[in-house]
Structures are given as structure tokens and as C-alpha cells.
Amino acid sequence: MWTDLICFIFINKKMTKSKIKKISKHAFHILPIIGLGICGILYPGWIKDGYLYEWYPTIAAGVAVYGGFVANLVWYIKQRKHL
């Protein structure tokens, strides 16, 4: 499995399999937060450049980007102790 390879690479740094799994779990759950954060920064530019030229894709994209970001962030903050 890929965790065995990563564990083998970082064996000199005293990284155990449990630490690597914990880091990879956190990374897996942080990636959507980072992606939606980037989309939230780019969203006003999409409107300004005319990619979302009608009202319903503008509202839908805004709700999806900002709502998804807030929901993922709140979920991660609540669940980070259990990961």
C-alpha cells in the first residue's frame, strides 16, 4: 500500500505508520477546504469576467462555493479530534 512506501521513505525521520495515516487523513479532509477557499477568492473574478452572465448560475455557484467552504471548515473543526 502507498502508506508503506511513505513510511519507508520517512523511516529516518522516525515517522511511524500511525503518524503517516493521521497526517494523510488530515490532508484528505483539508484539501476540499483549500480548494473551495481558492474558488471563493476566484469567484468575484468569474462574475467580473462574464463566465457567470445569468443570475441563476451566479447564485448557485456562490452558494456552492461559500456554503461548501463554511460547511467543510465547520465539520473539520468539530471532527479534527476524532480523525
Q: Distance between CA atoms of 43 and 61, rounded to whole angstroms?
A: 8
Q: Is the pLDDT of residue 11 over 60?
A: no
Q: What is the pLDDT of residue 59?
A: 93
Structure-model confidence comparison of residues 48 and 2, the more confident one: 48
- In whole numbers, what is the pLDDT of the chain averaged over residues? 83
Q: Which of 80, 82, 51, 79 is nearest to 65 (CA)?
A: 51
Tally of CB atoms within 10 A around 27: 10
Q: What is the pLDDT of residue 7?
A: 55
pLDDT tens by residue, 20-32: 777 788 888 899 9
Q: What residue spans define the domains of the chain?
A: 17-79
Q: Distance between CA atoms of 45 and 51, rounded to whole angstroms?
A: 9
Q: Distance between CA atoms of 53 and 57, rounded to whole angstroms?
A: 8
